Amino acid sequence: QGGAGTSTNMNANEVIANRALELLGFEKGQYRYLHPNEDVNLGQSTNDVYPTAVKVATVFAVRGLLKAMAVLQDSFARKAVEFRDVLKMGRTQLQDAVPMTLGQEFSAFAVMIDEDRHRLDEAVQLIHEINLGATAIGTGLNAPAGYAEAARRHLAEITGLPLVTAVNLVEATQDCGAFVQMSGVLKRVAVKLSKSCNDLRLLSSGPRAGLGEINLPPVQAGSSIMPGKVNPVIPEVVNQVAFEVIGNDVTITMAAEAGQLQLNAFEPIILHSLSESITHLRAACLTLAERCVDGITANTEVLRASVENSIGLVTALNPHIGYTAATDIAKEALVTGRGVAELVLEKGLLPAETLADLLRPEVVAGTGRALA
């Protein structure tokens, strides 16, 4: 709708007026007794009522998203504890890097969610600033003295929110910066959620011709032609929600930029996009936690073998056998296809007990160090 939300505001005024008429014992439409504009809209304008309503709705919606993110964070954190002793190879640029634990990998997922919860909580504080009482352009025309503060106080009591009136109502009536800020944080949440889901899809690839390091709980048959195929549909759903949120952020950015002079006429699309992003991210977090992360299992033998057979293991042994010997072992392992640990033992570079001790998760992955 055009008109900065006028259609919605007028409709709300009419609904309120007609319901009030019914309660007063009159027929709907008998506006001589109570009028949508003269009474319900008294001292108000679409330009202060609409953005205030949007902000109140956004605060409550974000609270729901924060709770959903906490659920997902807890799911990842529980898996981090469950997998804390499961050794695996870390990768950079999809190439073998150095050993880590699967628990560390899932702990990173949990921390990313926690960080974004804090950023979202910071962004929502800006949404508590309202321009109710500004009327048309922020000058307060046709609103009685003290109206803005009285309206804010009553709305705060009704909603239970710590609402504050903007210091400069002319600025607040034309500016959509708080919505842009909120959308930017939602995009951040979406990007990091999508990245985590990319990792889950890659780690579960296979089951026999891929990495196959973890198992995602099966949700549905994956193919109409390939029997037994199971797809990572839940992470894929979250990926698509992320794409949508990123697109909504572009829409909100362009709508905020398109404002002119004392009003932004494009708040309806900002509301629609913001609401959609928050609602869908909330559902995505809960779905990912309950239908995917909670049911993930580890293929411990595959993970262990990847460490033992990886040339990257030699980096962890470098301080104990020396750089030159480590380089020679890496080259021979690459040429022969034999494991690093096997070659180290064969050449007598380390006793079996010492090597076994060095390959313990708390040693090789640093889980016993303060920085873990």
Active site residues: 223
**Phi, psi angle pair for 297, to nearest 5°:** -125, 160
Query: What does DSSP say about strands 297-298 and 214-215: parallel, antiparallel, or unpaired?
Result: antiparallel
Report the Cα 278 to chain-centroid distance in Å: 9
Distance (Å, whole) CA 61 – CA 68: 11
Mapped to the 3 state alphabet, what secondary structure does the chain carry? CCHHHHHHHHHHHHHHHHHHHHHCCCCCCCCCCCCHHHHHCCCCCHHHHHHHHHHHHHHHHHHHHHHHHHHHHHHHHHHHHHCCCCEEEEEECCEEEEEEEHHHHHHHHHHHHHHHHHHHHHHHHHCCEECCCCCCCCCCCCCCCCHHHHHHHHHHHHHCCCCEECCCHHHHHHCCHHHHHHHHHHHHHHHHHHHHHHHHHHHCCCCCCCCCCEECCCCCCCCCCCCCCCCCHHHHHHHHHHHHHHHHHHHHHHHHHCCECCECCCHHHHHHHHHHHHHHHHHHHHHHHHHCHHHCEECHHHHHHHHHHCCCHHHHHHHHHCHHHHHHHHHHHHHHCCCHHHHHHHCCCCCHHHHHHHCCHHHHCCCCCCCC
Say how far apart CA 72 and CA 87 lie, in whole Å. Answer: 23
Alpha carbons within 13 angstroms on the beta-carbon side of residue 210 total 15
Angstrom distance (rounded) from CA 17 to CA 35: 6
| Omega within 30 of 0 (cis) for the link into 207 | yes
Which residue's entry shows tokens 């040693």? 363
